[in-house]
Amino acid sequence: MSYFYTLNNGVKIPAIGFGTWQIPEGELAYNATLAALKAGYRHIDTAMVYGNEKSVGRALKDSGIKREEIFVTTKLSANIKGYEETLEEFRKSLENLGLDYLDLYLIHNVKPWGVDSDGYDYMNANIASWQAFEKLYEEGKIRSIGVSNFLPGHLKILIENSKVKPMVNQIRLHPEHIPTENISFCNENDILIEAYSPLATGKILAGEKYAEMAKKYGKSVAQILIRWSYQQGFLPLPKSVNEDRIIENLDIFDFELTPEDMDYIGKIV
């Protein structure tokens, strides 16, 4: 059983990350991140748009854990596109986090949030941002680079116009939202899929079939859903501000779902 995945550039990434989306800047983000690190998480995922990079950075520092033992991800704001703009935004994130380098940097979305577009008209600007990513990667300021919320068509254009292929695509993924075309494309191109909202922000935790599985395995519904994601070869990013749940969400390595139960929970077609 592996507690890590290996990206297409050879970098090892912890197989479960602590997500910080919707955790506001301040003591809540600080305490949640510190609790996650104390619980054993070594992969922390944030973003400029979350507005909590400073609190996350403070928790990283105060944890006392060696920098090289923690895998830190943040993301380029969706409304920032272009080469110089990306370099400047990266500098701000690094300063917010109080770090000298990032382990993973992602383009957060194909298009700016709230824009009514399929995103293809932003691909030239995304390519320019990606060239900035490549520069930072080559300089050793980022250990790995990737994207978020990109569809296969967007990924294809980016790959055709870049020197370095994305290592990660972070997408919304849980048993009731399975984007099979995107999964297939990423698998075929050796791009690791990170699953954000693996618990559907709590919306599916009351599902009867998940409760049935939880009872069968003697685990919580959240653990069943996170384990499902992990066994599919995805990298789940569960989020919580409750210390007990933070600990529980990481405790999914001592059991295995049967192939039949995996399909029952959510079949990848």
Catalytic residues: 50
Question: CA 222, 225, 227, 231: dihedral to nearest 10 degrees?
Answer: -170
Helices (H), 40-190: 53-62, 83-97, 123-138, 152-160, 180-188
Contact 215, 243 (CB under 8 A): no
CA-closest candidate to residue 239, choices 208, 266, 201: 201
Tell me how far apart the alpha carbons of residues 72 and 18 are, in angstroms, rounded to a whole number.
10
Sign of the Cα pseudo-torsion (91, 4, 265, 187, in order): positive
| 75/46 Cα distance (integer angstroms) | 7
Angstrom distance (rounded) from CA 13 to CA 206: 31
Q: Where are the alpha helices (DSSP H) in 53-122?
A: 53-62, 83-97
Give the sign of the dihedral formed by CA 212, CA 217, CA 221, CA 227.
negative
Which residue type does 268 have? I
